[in-house]
Structure formats: structure tokens, C-alpha cells
Amino acid sequence: MSSTLKISLAQLNFTVGAIGENKDKILNAIQAHADTDLLIFPELALTGYPPEDLLYRPDLYQAVASALDEIAAATDSVAVAVGYPQTDGHKVWNTLGVFHQGRQIATYQKQTLPNYGVFDEKRYFTPGESSTVFNLGEHRIGMLICEDLWDEMPAKRAREAGAQILISVNASPFEEYKYPQRLQVLRARCQENHLPLVYVNLVGGQDEVIFDGNSVVLNEEGDVALHLPHCEEAVMTAHFDGKHVRMQPLPANPDNEASLYQALVLALRDYVEKNGFPSVLLGLSGGIDSALTLALAVDALGPERVRAVMMPYRYTADISIEDARQQSEWLGNQFDVVAIEPMVESFLETLAPLFVDTQRDTTEENLQARCRGTLLMALSNKYGSLVLTTGNKSELAVGYCTLYGDMCGGFAPIKDLPKSLVYRLSSYRNTLGPAIPERVITRPPSAELAPDQKDQDSLPPYEILDEIIDGYAERDLSVSDLVAAGYDETVVRDVIRLIDRNEYKRRQGAVGPKVTRRNFNKDRRYPITNRFTRHLLES
């Protein structure tokens, strides 16, 4: 091996539990990049991340051991770093192994285990207790795994153990505005230790988590020498002369809307592909939420795998049907119109004897949504398509949605997007080509479940609602904090009451990708039966 070291970053998309497929993907990459010196794969690449309670299955480790034997046998001149779970029969470690010339030459166990947000690593793993530095030719390489970088000590220990280059394998999730924060942490570790860093991140969607890639190599001053793409698979090579890494041309970073849209497309595509659905379908209302969902679906899967169903009732405006049809013509997806009036009237007739001496209320409105949900689920059963729900974070927060109606479905692509962000992404998508009719973006939002209905008849303006939701649900601000920030106290109390009252609805909603600081699934685990809100609002 020459004094120049070639390290290749394999930013690849692995599938949780698909150990055989993941192993084959690793072997194919080894064969394709046999001219490199060290080929690095992401955290827990062999099992996919996060494997969750699969880690309790003894047969998982048998499959891992068999796959590692094949990987080791495939290494000759190239050294390979692979993440996998390791067990002694009692404890489990999040491990990075290095294989070279047919054997394992280094083993490192993750020291810093995250246990917040989407992470539950302390539920499964035992923390490692020591650093690992291995020799590759004339180079001494220190090993880290993801959260180790967010703590100063593991990198420092690796340097003290003689590391000249740091490598870190990662499964670091995407969220809006996170990349600059992540890069700041990586730079700090380089500058503190005067060492270059090779950071290999996972890419792909896994249920509600998106891994965005954006793998990087930084020099010892913390400058980016190599940058891999956002939300795409790629293998790229960095060249080291001792500790010095050669600088390479860097791609332009996508703006916030572009990176967010690409992440949502990746999440939707991977959920459909990795779960084996042939196609998707959704209810297209002529409103902005379903319009953005349709655009995401077509961009993720192609128009031939997407079906949009317009289900008008007497309160549906003609322009809603026109806009839905126009959008489907632009995008090229299948478009159906199924009037629900016969279904709704049949339900009302059946229920009339049971509703004697009652007034019309949201019950009758919700029947419309539930008829639509029944139609979509029937199509799903018949054709095997995945139903996409189209609710946004603002509506889910306050319960402005119907259980077993518009909440019917198996994946919710925009469930973590506040309404204000839905508008921004819709406008962004139109910069790429005609996708969403402008009238859909500019019209006042309406559920169209009653005559002349507008969302703002029941809710504060979305720009205010989203800020209160962010303050209370994402930043844990109190009533007094929000009032001091300038929001009307009555509105604040009403919104908080709605948020906590509707935990039961959100608990029954479809899974969807996390993109904000705190989503309503794993990030925020509130009890359904909960009287603290009453105390909060009475204080």
C-alpha cells in the first residue's frame, strides 16, 4: 500500500431486516470498488437502521454472523468497514468491524448511545468502553459511530490512542435545518483534535425516519474536502497523503425547500418499495394538501403507479373538480371521479330513525369523509394499492380531521408539515414545472363539508396556529410564555386544549416521515388519558 490512502464512502440505502439483500449490496460495492484501500459503509448497514426489537431475536445474530463471514471472504486488497449488531448472548453492542484480507482486523463498539427523539439505543445496546485505532499501511485510523461525534470525548480518546484519521459511520436522520448544525459538530471535532474526519451517513427512508446522506470528508481545520449528494446513493473516494486530504470540487447545497421536498420524495418511495406495494392511491379534493401529496407521489413513483380519486358531494365547488382534473392532466396519473351523494344519503336515511330530535352537526359532515375513506379502502383491497392520507401537521395537531375518514390510509407523506410549510413546498414544486394549479395555492382552504365552509371558521389563521403549535408542542412553552410572545390568551388556551384532547386521534393515524424538530409520533409521547392540560389551563 502506497503512502497515499484512498478511502471510499459508500453512502447506500439499506433495508431493515433484509440481511441477505444488504450483504449482497455490500459485496457488489466491494467488487465495484476493488481499487480503493478502505471502503466504509454506514452504521448498522448489515441489518439496516433502526432494527428496533428485531435485536431481541437470536436468529438475527445467526444471519449476521453468516453474512459477515461472506463479507470477510470477499476482502483482499481492499479493507471494508461495516456496521452490525454484536452480541455475546447477553449483551448487545452497536459495532463497527473492519475486514481485510479475509479476516476481521478491528472491532469498535459505540460508546455514546442516543436515547431521545426517534432513538431508543439504550433499550437495546450496551455502550462500548474503549477506543479502537487500527493500522492500514502507514496510517492509523480511529473509529467512531454517529452519536460519538456529538460528545467530545470519543474523538479525543481516539486521538490520544494515536489516530491520524477519524472515520465515523452514521445513521443520522434528516430534519429541517439540521444539516448546518450537524456540520458545525463535525467541524468542532476536527478542530479540537487537529484530525481529518471521514463521515459516512446512511441514505433512505425507514418508516417515519429519513436518512439524508450528505456524507462528508473534512480536513483537520474542519473544511469540507468532499461532499456526497443529498438523499441519493453515491460512492465517492477521498485521497489522503498522511493526514492531509485532497480538496475536491463541492456541489451546490440545495435550498431548504428543495432539500425538504427531496427528503419527502425519498421517504415515500422507500416506504412503497420496501413494503412491496405495486401502486398508491389518494383522495384528491382540489385542495392544497392532497395536491402536494399527489405531486410527491408522482415524483416518487411515476404517474403510472399513482391513482387519484375525486369524490365530490353537494358542497364540493366546481373549481375543486376542475383543479383536480387539471393537476392530474399535468402530472399524467390516473384520475377518477366518484360522486358520494348516493352513499351519504343512504347513510342518512338509515340513521334518521336513530337521530330523531337531534340537530345537524359535524356528525353529518364526518359521514362524507367516512364515505370517501370507505371508497378508497375498497379500491386498496381490490388492487393492492397503498392509500396515502393527505393531512398536515396543523390539522393533526388540533384534530381537524376525521377518524376513519380522511385519516384512512397506510402512509401520510405530509403529516409532519405545518400548513404554512405545505404552501411553501407547493410553490417550490411549481418552480420545477407545472404541478399544482395556482388557484389551489391561493384559494382560502376549506374542507368543503358544509355550505361556504372555510378552515378559518373553526381555526385561527394558519400562520398563527402554526406558531402556537410550534411553541407548545415543539418547544414546550407555557400559556404565559405564549401570551408574553404576543398571542391572544383565549386563542392560546383553545389551541392547547385541542392539541392535548386529540392525542387519541393522532395515535390512530398512519405513519409518515418526520421532518421537523419534534413530530407527533416518537418525538412526543404524550398519554391519551391526561389531566395535566386541565391543570395547565386552570393555572
Q: Is residue 390 part of an annotated ligand binding site?
A: yes
Distance CA 30, CA 98 (A): 13
Residue 288 assigned to a binding site: yes
Q: Which of 43, 220, 365, 448 is catalytic?
A: 43
Is 168 assigned to a binding site? no
Residue 395 known to bind ligand: yes
For residue 450, count CB atoms less than 10 angstroms from its CB and return exposed for 0-12, middle for 13-18, buried for 19 or more: middle
Annotated binding-site residue? 284 = yes
* DSSP per position, 272-336: HHHTT-S-EEEE--SSHHHHHHHHHHHHHH-GGGEEEEE---TTS-HHHHHHHHHHHHHHT-EEE
Cβ atoms 310, 338 nearer than 8 A:
yes
Take residue 390 and report the three cell numbers written for it.
393527505
Task: Indicate which residue of 23, 110, 274, 393 is catalytic.
Answer: 110
- 52 labelled as ligand-binding? no
Farthest-apart Cα atoms in the chain, separation: 89
CB 513 within 8 A of CB 267: yes
H-type alpha helices, 352-461: 362-383, 393-398, 419-431, 438-442
The residue with cell 384528491 is 284
Does the annotation count 43 as an active-site position? yes
Q: Which of 23, 121, 146, 274 is catalytic?
A: 146
Q: Is 204 annotated as a binding residue?
A: no
Q: Is 287 annotated as a binding residue?
A: yes
Query: What phi, psi does 22 have (nearest 5°)?
Result: -65, -40
Residue 289 marked in a binding site: yes
Q: For this structure, is 220 an active site residue?
A: no
Contact 191, 159 (CB under 8 A): no
Asked about 156 being catalytic, the answer comes back as: no
CA dist 148 to 100, 190, 332, 399, Å? Answer: 24, 13, 47, 39
Question: Is 290 annotated as a binding-site member?
Answer: yes
Q: Is 76 annotated as a binding residue?
A: no
Query: What pairing do the DSSP bridges indicate for beta strands 280-283 and 334-337?
Result: unpaired
Distance CA 319, CA 261 (A): 27
286 is in an annotated binding site: yes
**Residue 304 among known ligand-binding residues:** no
Binding site per annotation, positions for L-glutamine: 116, 172, 178
Binding-site residues for ATP: 283-290, 390
- Please report, in range form, the residues annotated as the binding site: 116, 172, 178, 283-290, 366, 390, 395, 505
Q: Residues at the annotated binding site for deamido-NAD(+)?
A: 366, 395, 505
Question: Known catalytic residues?
Answer: 43, 110, 146
